[in-house]
Amino acid sequence: MNYKDKFIEYLRKERRYSEYTVKGYDDNIDDFIKFMSARNINVLEVSKDDIREYLKYLDSLNFKNATIVRRLSSLRSFYNYLVSNNLIKSNPMKLIKNPKKEKKLPNFLQYDEFMKLLESIKNDDALSIRNKLILELLYATGLRVSELVNIKIKDIDFSNKVIKTLGKGSKERLVYFGDYAKELLDVYINSERNELLNGKVSEYLLINNQGGHLTARGVEDIIDRIVNEASLKHKISPHVLRHTFATHLLDNGADLLSVKELLGHESLKATQIYTHITEERLRSVYLHSHPRAKK
C-alpha cells in the first residue's frame, strides 16, 4: 500500500470520515498526483512553484474558487499526514493561500416548490414510496446526504421521532422528524423496504433497487429524476434541501443557535449565512408589499 492509500485508510478508519467525504479526498489527491506525474515531479518533492502551476491548471478549467479551496484543503491534510509520518520535512501547502470564496447565497426551495416535488411522485410502487421518504427526510431533518444514506433502523426512535446520526468528524447528534415523515417511515419499513430487500438482509434504512445499500450518488440521481418529472427549472441537490430546512426554520421563528445544532455546524459562523437569505426575503416582501416602498 503506498502513502496515498495509507492516508485514505487513515481518513476512513481513524478519522472515520464518511465514504462520500473519503472519495472526495481520494479524487482530489489522485488528480494532483496525475498532474505532477505528467511533469515528472515527485509528489514528495513538490515546490511552491509546482503547486502554483497546478492552481493555474485548475483555473484554466474554469473551476469555481470554492472547488479550488476544497482541493487545496484535501492537499493540506494529505501533506500534514506525510509530515507527521516523517515522509517529508515540511508541508509545502503552508506557503499557498486560498483564493477568495465567491460570496454566494445558498439555493433553497419555496415551500410550494418542495410540495411540487413531493406531489410529482406517484405512490404506486416501493421505489416511489422510498423516493418520497428521501425527500421528506432531507427536508424534515436537514441531514447531509452522507448522513441520510447511513441511517440504520436501530438509529431511529419512532416514538419520540428522533434519529441519531454521525456527522462530520464522527460527531454524534440528534435530528428530529415530524408526523409526515413518520407516516412515510411506517409505510416504507413495514412493507416497501422488505419488497426492495427481496429476501436480503440490511441494517440500513434506505435500500436500492438491487436490494443493497443506497449510496449518496444514488440519492443525487433519484433527486435529479424527480426534478425533471416535476419540471422545476433550477438545479436541486440534496444540499439544497438542507438549505431549505434551515431557511424555513429561521423564516418561521427558530433561533440561530438551535438551527446551528440541528445542522451539526461546528461554529455559528457557518449557520449565519442563512440569516442573509431571510434578510433578502424580508427585503423582497417589503419592496413588493409596502404601498410606499417604490414610486
Active site residues: 144, 168, 239, 242, 265, 274
> 215, 259, 261: which is closest to 238 by C-alpha?
215
CB atoms < 10 A from the CB of 126, how many? 19
How far apart CA 117 and CA 110 sit, in angstroms, is 11
C-alpha cell at 177: 422528524
Burial of 39 (0-12, 13-18, 19+ CB in 10 A): exposed
Looking at the DSSP assignment, which residues form a beta bridge with residue 176?
162
DSSP letter string over 273-293? HHHHHHHHHHHHHHHHH-TTS
How far apart CA 116 and CA 224 sit, in angstroms, is 14
Question: Residue 121, by phi and psi: left (phi above 0), alpha (psi -120 to 50) or beta?
Answer: beta
What phi and psi, each to the nearest 5 degrees, are found at residue 175? -125, 155
> 290, 291, 272, 288: which is closest to 106 by C-alpha?
272
Question: Residue 234, by phi and psi: left (phi above 0), alpha (psi -120 to 50) or beta?
Answer: beta
Looking at the DSSP assignment, which residues form a beta bridge with residue 213?
207
